Amino acid sequence: MDSSRRRILQLLGISALALTTRPVLDAFAKEQQATGADVIIKEGDKVLKARQWAMVIDTRKLHSEAELEPLIEACHTIHNVPKLLNKNHEIKWLWGTHYHNAFPGKAARFIAEEVEQRPFLVLCNHCENPPCVRACPTKATWKRDNDGIVFMDFHRCIGCRFCMAACPFGARSFNYRDPRPFIQETNKKFPTRMKGVVEKCNFCAERLAVGQIPACVEVSKGALAFGDLYDPKSEVRELIRTHFTIRRKQTLGTEPCVYYIV
Partner 1 sequence: MNNKALIVTGVVIFLLIVLFPFWYMRGKAAPPPEVELTPKAKAAQKCVRSTEYMRAEHMQLLDVWRDSVVRESKRIYVNPDGKEFNMSLSNTCLDCHSNKAEFCDRCHNYASVRPYCWSCHIENPKEKT
Q: Provide, rounded to whole angstroms, the least separation between the CB of residue 28 and partner 1.
A: 10
> What one-character-per-residue DSSP string does 135-193 give?
H-SS--EEE-TTT--EEE-TTT-----HHHHH-TT---EE-SS-SGGG-SS--TTS---
The answer for 95, left when phi > 0, alpha when psi is -120 to 50, beta otherwise, is beta
User: Is residue 202 part of the contact set for partner 1 (CB under 8 A)?
Assistant: no
Binding to partner 1 by CB under 8 A, coded x per residue (else -) over 23-42, reads: -------xx-xxx--xxxxx
Piece of 143-151, 163-171, 225-233, 249-257 that binds partner 1 (CB under 8 A) = 143-151
Choose, by CB under 8 A, the member of 105, 194, 250, 253 that binds partner 1.
Answer: 194
Rounded CA gap, 96 and 99, in Å? 10
Binding to partner 1 by CB under 8 A, coded x per residue (else -) over 147-186, reads: x---x-xxx------------------------------x
| Cα 26 → chain centroid | 36
Q: Provide, rounded to whole angstroms, the least separation between the CB of residue 93 and partner 1.
A: 16
Rounded CA gap, 128 and 150, in Å? 9
Half-sphere exposure of 258 (CA within 13 A, CB side): 23
Q: Provide, rounded to whole angstroms, the least separation between the CB of residue 18 and partner 1.
A: 24
Choose, by CB under 8 A, the member of 205, 245, 246, 255 that binds partner 1.
Answer: 205
Asked if 97 and 120 touch (Cβ cutoff 8 Å), the reply is: yes
Q: Provide, rounded to whole angstroms, the least separation between the CB of residue 175 and partner 1.
A: 10
Residues that bind partner 1 (CB under 8 A): 30-31, 33-35, 38-44, 144, 146-147, 151, 153-155, 186, 188-189, 191-194, 205, 209
